Each structure stands twice: as C-alpha cells, then as structure tokens.
Structure 1
Amino acid sequence: MTTSPAPDNTGDKTPDVEALLSAMAAAAQAERESSPDYEILASAGTVSQLVRRLEHLTTGTILDAYQVLTDKLGLEDKRPLFDYLFEVPMRFRLYREAFNAETHVGCVDRAAAKITEEIVAAGTPAETKSDPRFSKAALADDGNGGHIGPAAAADALILADQFDDSRRIQRLSCDTREIVERIISSGMEVDPAKLAGTVRLILGTAAEIARGQDGLETR
C-alpha cells in the first residue's frame, strides 16, 4: 500500500508572510514619516539645518525626561542628572554592544538595567558622582577580548586631560604675536609693545598657576 506525501503548503504561505512583513514595514515607515519630529527634520534644506533641528529635538526630549524623573519619580541633584541624560543614547549603545559581545543574551535588558543604575546615581545627592567618561572609557577593548576597566580608564583620561591642558597652555604661550596682532587689527588703539608684554605676563602667570596648582608640565 502506498501513501501519498502530505501536501507542502509552505510555498503557498511564504508569499503571504512576505506580504504581511512588507505591509508592517511600510506601515511603520509611514507612521514614522508622519510624526511631527520627522516632519521637522525633513523640512531641513541643508545638513547644517538638520543638525540644528536634531539638537533642538534632542534637548527637548532630554528636558521632558528630566522633568519626569524629577517631578514624578523623585530624583534630585539637577545638574548631574541633566548632564548625564545627554549621554544615555550612546552609553546604551556601548553597553548593549559590550554585553552582546560577552554573552549574546539579554544585552538590551542588561544595558537598560545599567543605564537605570547610573540615572538613579546621577539623581541621588547622597551618591558619589564620577565623570561619566570614565565608565564609557572602561568599555574600551583591552586587546585580549575584555575591557580595560574603570581604574585604567580613569588614569588614562586624567593623563590625557593633563596632556591636553599642558599643550594648550604651551600653544597659547607661543601665540603672543598672533594675539597682539588680532587685538590691534580689531581697531583698539594700544601700544603694541606694552600689549605684548601684558599678554606674555598673563600667559606666563597662567602657566605658573597650572604647574603649581594642577601639576601640569608645560615645558
């Protein structure tokens, strides 16, 4: 006795599934493009205009989130919390990618939990605040498949800041002539020699303060 194979209806269903997915994607895109925020961005005629609109929308969203966190959810310490909220999109992405590379499981939930902890810390006066750049830099690859960690990140960023500050002071101390020329070209009636001496005195004093108070090496 022979049996007939069961009919394969996969081929019949595939077009329907594809059509459904296409319709869902088209509906999502249409909904996004009809939103007020998209229309504001789409009205930009240049990249510069789009950047300005993006900054305006981003700041508005941050202000809304900040107000909900402080007025409704009871967080305080306004400035650290407000500043941190601007970090959330990039930090969420960094955490998600780091967790995904580590286990490939629950990376979005773990990233959300980590960001939640940092928001609460930023909005709690009793918590010790730290520069958010340290945590971000701690996610950097150490070359062995891991991360450099917060301690190494803090040391590296402090050294980088000192280097940048010292180079900035050194560069300014070498630009006395340009500073004097710009002031004179602005139309001010001053004696060039006296102005140059004043500029050198100010820059030299700034370098001494940087060395004495901050330990910066400018030579």
Structure 2
Amino acid sequence: MSETPAPEESDALDTDALGSLLTAMSKAAADERTGSPAYRAMESAGTVSQLVRRLEHQTTTAILDACDVLTDKFGLEDKRPLYDYLFEIPMRFRLYREAFRAETHVGCVDRAVEKIAGEIETAGNPAEAKSEPRYAKAGLAGDGSGGSIGPVTAADALILADLFDDSRRIQRMSCDTRAIAQRILDSGAGVDPDKLAGTVRLILSTAVDIAREKDGLETR
C-alpha cells in the first residue's frame, strides 16, 4: 500500500490561495464600508441635492465632534478660527499629501498629518503654538550664545526629527517587506513574487494598525 506523499512546503503558499485571500480581504473592507450607517444614508438619497445636504450634515457633525475633543481633551481654545479651520482639513490634507509625494514618496501621508496637526494647534491657540511637554523641555537646550533655543524653535526641530524618524520607519518597513518576501522565495515556495510582497506588506501594515488600535502604540 503506497503512502500519500507529504505536501511540499510550496503548496502551503499557493498563488491562487494568496490571490483569493487578498480578494476576500479587499471585499470584506468594501462590504464594511458600504454597510456602514453613513454609507447607507448617502446611498438612500433620491437626488444629488439630497446627497449634498446629507454630506454637509455628516461633515458638520464630525467637525463639531472634533472641535469638542480638541477643546475638552487637548485643551485648545474654543475659538472661531479653530472651527473654521477644521472645515478646510480634507482639501488641505490632499494638497499637502500630493505636494510631499511630488517631493518624495517617503512619508507623504505622515508628513501631511504632522503639518495639519501643527496648524490645528495654531488655530486653536495662536499664543502657544505647541504645548506638548517635550517641546518645553527641549526648549531649554543651549543656543550657543549662553541662552536657550526656546520652545518654538525646539518644536520645529523635534517635528523635523519626527519626520526623519517616520521616513526611516517607512523605509525600514519597505525593506522588511522585501526581505521577508525574498526569504520565503529563497525557501523554494512557488508563489508569485508580486502577490507575496503584497501579502507581506498587508500583514505588516495591519499589524501596525492593530498596535495603534489595541495598545495605543505609536510607530515612530
């Protein structure tokens, strides 16, 4: 009686299975979005005018919620400039992201987020643009003339350092993706390299999201 041969290692990473996995995950994400109350409210609009009214209502509600959190939790001043600025965020974010992408493909989203966050703090409290404790502490650093650089200069320096760290983190994640995919390919797995790299990248980015959501970890 012949024995059934053990499946080869490459069978565990079948190309079709990987493609099906990516398709299923993409469909699940799309179904979650189209099944949300916000999407259903938009989809039920009978005319474009109704959709615009609902979009304005949802936007205003989100702005009011964000404004309350910024003032109640983060201590920003409840001023008209802050409220007005929040309405500009979607377009500003898109413009910043595209500008940073044209400059370099590394960290364009993170850089846009930092830019918007700084402008929110300025709009909510013009007299003290940065209030994070580490800015004040860094401001005690000497300026070479016997004085200190101050919290404003320190804030700018720390933001630049954060952007540098973000760029390094993104580059490292990209390198990790290639290294992991190449290690699997070197083991003899018969899979499509592009699909494998996409799967690895998806897993790494999902791990980052879970760390942020579940543990409150910042990845920079």
Answer whether contact 1:62 1:86 (CA < 8 A) is retained: yes
Which stretches of structure 1, 4 residues or more, deviate above 2 A after TM superposition? 7-12
Q: Which residue of 1 aligns with 2:165?
A: none
Question: 1:57-206 alignment to 2 at 5 Å?
Answer: 57-126=58-127
| Other-structure match for 1:25 | 26
Partner of 1:48 in structure 2?
49
TM-score normalised by L of structure 2: 0.52
> Would the aligned equivalents of 1:80 and 1:122 in 2 still touch at CA under 8 Å?
yes
Displacement of 1:26 in angstroms is 1.0
Aligned partner letter, 2:119: E
CA RMSD of aligned residues (A): 2.1
How far did residue 104 of structure 1 move?
1.1
Q: Counterpart of 2:14 in 1: which secondary structure?
A: helix
**Whole-angstrom distance in 2 between the partners of 1:66 and 1:77:** 8
Work out which structure has the larger RCO, using CA pairs closer than 8 Å and 6 or more positions apart in sequence.
2
* SS in structure 1 at match of 2:125: coil
Any unmatched runs of 5+ in structure 2?
1-7, 130-220
Cα distance, 1:9 vs structure 2: 4.0
Q: How many residues align?
A: 122
Q: 1 CA distance for matches of 2:126 and 2:119?
A: 13
In 2: Cα distance, 1:10 partner to 1:59 partner: 52
Distance apart, 1:25 and its partner CA: 1.0
- Over the matched positions of the two proteins, sequence identity in percent amounts to 66
Supply the distance in 2 between the matched residues of 1:126 and 1:94 (Cα, whole angstroms).
26
User: Could you state the TM-score of these two structures normalised by the residue count of structure 1?
Assistant: 0.52
Taking a change above 3 Å as real, the CA distance of residues 12 and 70 of structure 1, as seen in their structure-2 partners, is closer
- Residue type matched to 1:116 in 2? A
Q: 1:75 to 1:30 in 2, by over 3 A?
A: same
Paired residue type of 1:121:
T
Structure 1 distance, partners of 2:78, 2:36, is: 33
Distance 2:122 2:128 in 1: 6
| Cα separation, 2, equivalents of 1:116 and 1:127 | 14
Specify the structure having the higher radius of gyration (Cα): 1
Quote the offset at 1:12 in angstroms: 6.5
Q: In the alignment, is the contact (CA less than 8 A) between 1:96 and 1:111 conserved in 2?
A: yes
